[in-house]
Chains A and B, each alone.
Chain A
Amino acid sequence: MIGPFTAEAVLVDGYAAGLLVVARALDRLAGRVARPPGSGEESRLETPPWPHSEAGRFHRGIALALVVMAATLVIAEVVRRPDRTGIALAAATLAAAAVTGRRLAGRLRATPAGFPEPECQDK
């Protein structure tokens, strides 16, 4: 027991929180990747040129997967041991995951792949 919580619940939720932190870091990184180096004012362009834009999307996509994973882990743990303190802890972690997930999903949507689709092709 760690305070009112079982050690296992603390570990699972702690790990899930760690995943959220990694996801946020990846998202930050995605912002850097999606900007070509040495491009001063260009970096303020709405959409950086491909493939920067899509590399950014890749990192953001992985980040979002980590958030989903964190939520899954926490839910699996609650199902395994549905005690009151565990549920409270899980609810807090899930709330954090929801906030992070919303934010990252928004940013993922705002990062277009930016692949220059030629007009002549029908795809």
Chain B
Amino acid sequence: MKSAGDRNAGLSIIEREELGTLIDVLGARGYQVIGPVVSDGAIVYDRIASLADLPEGLTDEQDGGRYRLKQRDDRALFGYVVGPHSWKKYLHPPRIRLFRAECAENGLRIIDEEQPQEKFAFIGARSCELHAIAIQDRVLLDGVYPDAVYRARRENLFVVAVNCGTAGGTCFCTSMNTGPKATTGYDLALTEIPDPDNHRFLVEPGTALGAEILGALSSREATPDDETIAEQSIARAVEQMENNTRRMDATGIRELLLDNLEHARWDDVAQRCLTCANCTMVCPTCFCTTVEDTTDLTGDHAERWRRWDSCFTQDFSYIHGGSVRVSPMSRYRQWMTHKLATWIDQFGVSGCVGCGRCITWCPVGIDITEEIRAIRGQINGCKA
């Protein structure tokens, strides 16, 4: 084994425990290290201090409207897929103050909110999630008015990706070309090899900074064997998804939806949809927000806050005289046609990365891939 500092590029192997060193190194460099942890029976993202915080030997069973953690027969640290949280809660915070205002003698004064330059290190971001971050980059940074809140959190981000070795029950990233192997948007990419006798990670640096951090860990050069085992685990995830009926045919999907704004299936899904907005909250690309204005009791100080909003609420489309999208039909249609069709007009990419969260966390198990199949006419339903 080579010692720290010897290597800085190519594929390396680090032992399981060395991941703890990575967390320490990132912490020592001033990063807030965020990773998967177990909370309330689900895997969520939170601050982590050491290897012990990561979920060990767990996997998740997911299906429409169903999520359950289960023990694996090994000590894998990343043996599950994605949970109800996404990284957007750090980069695009759920609630944030935009400014304060004062009503002074000489009139109105607006006090800007200094955006602290956050240094986040995300450990365990999946390929679909890296694509989701790239999509939010386009939405929130690439336009005429880059979002200062997002930028201050995004600029110094360090990403440790994890290639998926198993697919979840609601995953369909292969349909969306967003996984399961991380191809871009990471500083380091790990493939876990949870062999009980030799639990290790294959590590691939994606940036110079990633290579530098890797150089601070003890690692050895990966052998062809290591690489083959890692490739096999990713191939297994692909195969699981290919065998899954939950696939989405994305060809011509924009035209499909825009040509079918008045399809009977919208009424069908509206019968089931509770307009609870869960799908938009868990979706890693949904970006909509609203604002709230408040004043204190003296009436001299006011604040403006921004918080996540959802196109599933009736207020979302309120204009004087009444909301535009009153029926649940129109709200589901707005969400899905935006996500899969008009998003392409607006940002040049689909708004869906195939992570499956909206399916798992929908209380009634509405499945976006099934809705597309139905609009394509591939589901006939019961025709008595």
Do they bind each other? no
